[in-house]
Structure 1
Amino acid sequence: MAIKESRSDKIFSRCNKLLVWFFIIVISYPLVYILSASISDPQYVNSGQMWLYPRGITFEGFQRVFQSSEIWIGYRNTIFYTVFGTLINLAVTLPCAYALARQELIGKKVIMALLVFTMFFEGGLIPTYLLIRDLGMVNTIWAMVLPNAAAMWNIIVTMTFFRVTIPRGLEEAAEIDGASQIRTFFQIVLPLSAPIIAVMALFYGVSHWNQYFNALIYLQDRELFPLQLFLREILVQQKLTTELLQNSGAAEAISEHAKIADIIKYAVMIVSAAPLLIVYPFLQRFFLKGVMIGSIKG
């Protein structure tokens, strides 16, 4: 049976739709602008003539970015760090959250207090570097995946999911049938936890993909550099070259190099963000479900 909406309900519904469309436009415009600017002539971009659709289409920025063989090394390393690091994150976060979600855990309050303490206080950059150095992880892949093996906030969200979503009766039935806690976790809890696993994988994956500071601090071998560090070098080199040309007073060279620098700037944004934009739609269904369950019910 169709429910007749009152006048106030219609006004409220239309206001909500307008608000949703407003946010869609606000969020989408920067993405469309950057994509258009990456393939547009910088003359149109800098003059404001290009504000949505590309003008003076050119792919010189992408050509210059991909001409560097180190870009492909960076892609390879970043994909490895993202996949391997995310697996480590999940291997630490999921069991830890499941253990904290169980009421019978001995010393649960003390453990939670110690873990929450790390959310507000940390050792600092220098002590952390000395620790990584003493552990022999400097200039190795482990410096990229182990220091951030787990995030306390993600553990809390996952713990809430386990506590309010997984029926305690299933675990008790498994215990009656003789299943150990480890078997219960792997064969009952994890298969029912696909939404929160997808959410955590996305959170950790994005963090690893955008990570460059640890590489800047701990890595010296260029064969281990992630993509973000190579892209950062490209932008810094373009800026330094422009400044050197300005000091030399070569007007035409300055103009040409500034044009190339602008093209590369937007191309670098697309190169770094495109893989995540491609992967996210496939995880969106799990992402929304996991976030809603882990937040509202918690």
Structure 2
Amino acid sequence: MNTKAITRINESVGDRLFIGAIYTFLILVLIAVLYPLVFIVSASFSSASAVVSGRVWLFPVEPTLDGYKAIFNNSQIIQGFSNSLFYTVVGTFISVTITILLAYPLSKKTFYGRRFIMVLLVFTMIFDGGLIPLYLVVKNLNMIDTIWALLLPQALAVFQVIIARTFFQSTIPDELSEASEMDGCSETKFFWKVVLPLSKPILAVLVLMYAVMKWNMYFDALIYLKSEELFPLQIILRSILILNVESGGNIEEVLKLQGLKELMKYSLIVVSSLPVLVLYPFVQKHFVKGMLIGSIKG
């Protein structure tokens, strides 16, 4: 008797109904999550009149690239896209560097005071000074309306530090460090030559988490930045989403501008989501492994 036949015999009617209910629920969740994404992509490739009139449901209607042409012909959007790339790349590098340099010493049992430092870090996850004190600190450091206002105040996330510390404790054994010391290897050289090459999974986790956070950074830019040439793409997207078309001109011109605005909105959502969608497949394998090791073990 083969395995399939044994499985069919062991499964009762109740088990099959339960599994069927689970699959049905998961399919409904998939549709609920997938449909808005499909709709946005379809609307971005449809004509302005089809979008405004609500004729777009699943597939593009009257396919066109007018929305994407309008985006790439807008110098403000290009500038915002470039700024977001800069904030994401530089900000992620700073954040990952600080997180690793803090998490690795905290994972060492010989580091004096590491428990006290962890208590202080966890305390900041429960209580914080609030928005006004943070703004005053940034202002007193002369970072208002500068690129540093988006790079430094939110450079460190305690949750990421905890994950990285747990990863180092679970993956880098003390015996490996002791063996390297016996061979005359310094702590710095051990960190660069041994720890970092073994830490690719957690590095992928940190890069993806910080990159998504930096790319979607909106509130900090809204508070700290005043110059339009420093605005990230998310602020530009906000201005397009809430922009009201002036009522001047004839009714046909107003409807045309409204349609173009709606079309640009969907096209810009697709463009702003594209970098994260491109990044994730390259770090997916390490991301899953790093999350499992960094959050379950230790």
Distance in 1 (alpha carbons) for counterparts of 2:113 and 2:160: 21
2:111 paired with 1:99? no
SS of the residue aligned with 2:244? Answer: helix
* Equivalent position amino acid for 2:271 in 1: V
* Equivalent position amino acid for 1:74 in 2: G
User: 5 Å matches for 1:131-280?
Assistant: 131-236=137-242, 239-241=243-245, 244-245=246-247, 251-280=251-280
Map of 2:84 onto structure 1: 78
How much does 1:249 deviate?
A: 9.5
Distance in 2 (alpha carbons) for counterparts of 1:235 and 1:50: 19
SS of the residue aligned with 2:60? Answer: coil
SS of the residue aligned with 1:138? Answer: coil
Map of 1:292 onto structure 2: 292
* Equivalent position amino acid for 1:73 in 2: Q
Work out whether residues 45 and 51 of structure 1, in 8 Å CA contact, stay in contact via their aligned partners in 2. no
Map of 1:7 onto structure 2: 11
> Which stretch shifts more, 139-148 or 34-43?
34-43
Work out whether residues 89 and 150 of structure 1, in 8 Å CA contact, stay in contact via their aligned partners in 2. yes
Distance in 2 (alpha carbons) for counterparts of 1:49 and 1:115: 52
Residues 96, 177 of structure 1: alpha-carbon distance in 2 compared, 3 angstrom cutoff: same
Distance in 1 (alpha carbons) for counterparts of 2:127 and 2:171: 31
Distance in 2 (alpha carbons) for counterparts of 1:279 and 1:185: 26
How much does 1:206 deviate?
A: 0.7
Deviations 1:97-133 (A, max 9, x none): 1111112221122111111111122222222122112
* Equivalent position amino acid for 2:264 in 1: I
Map of 1:51 onto structure 2: 57
Deviations 1:29-85 (A, max 9, x none): 222111001111354445554221111112222222222112222222211111111
Distance in 2 (alpha carbons) for counterparts of 1:295 and 1:158: 9
Distance in 2 (alpha carbons) for counterparts of 1:174 and 1:139: 47
Map of 2:134 onto structure 1: 128
> Kindly, what percent of the aligned residue pairs are identical?
45
* TM-score between both structures, scaled by the size of structure 2: 0.88
Work out whether residues 177 and 190 of structure 2, in 8 Å CA contact, stay in contact via their aligned partners in 1. yes
SS of the residue aligned with 2:143? Answer: coil
Q: What's the RMSD between the two structures over aligned residues?
A: 2.4
Distance in 1 (alpha carbons) for counterparts of 2:115 and 2:278: 41
Distance in 2 (alpha carbons) for counterparts of 1:211 and 1:256: 31
Distance in 2 (alpha carbons) for counterparts of 1:233 and 1:43: 22
2:275 paired with 1:282? no
SS of the residue aligned with 2:291? Answer: helix
* TM-score between both structures, scaled by the size of structure 1: 0.88
How much does 1:146 deviate?
A: 0.6
* Equivalent position amino acid for 2:265 in 1: K
Distance in 1 (alpha carbons) for counterparts of 2:179 and 2:32: 50
Map of 2:95 onto structure 1: 89
* Equivalent position amino acid for 2:135 in 1: Y
> Which stretch shifts more, 205-214 or 121-130?
121-130
Distance in 1 (alpha carbons) for counterparts of 2:21 and 2:109: 45
How much does 1:153 deviate?
A: 0.6
Distance in 1 (alpha carbons) for counterparts of 2:198 and 2:250: 65
Deviations 1:188-208 (A, max 9, x none): 111111011001000000111
* Equivalent position amino acid for 1:240 in 2: N
Deviations 1:235-285 (A, max 9, x none): 33xx322xx42xx69543443332222212111211211111112111111
2:38 paired with 1:32? yes
In the alignment of these two chains, the number of paired residues is 292
Distance in 1 (alpha carbons) for counterparts of 2:24 and 2:282: 27
How much does 1:96 deviate?
A: 0.9
Residues 255, 268 of structure 1: alpha-carbon distance in 2 compared, 3 angstrom cutoff: same
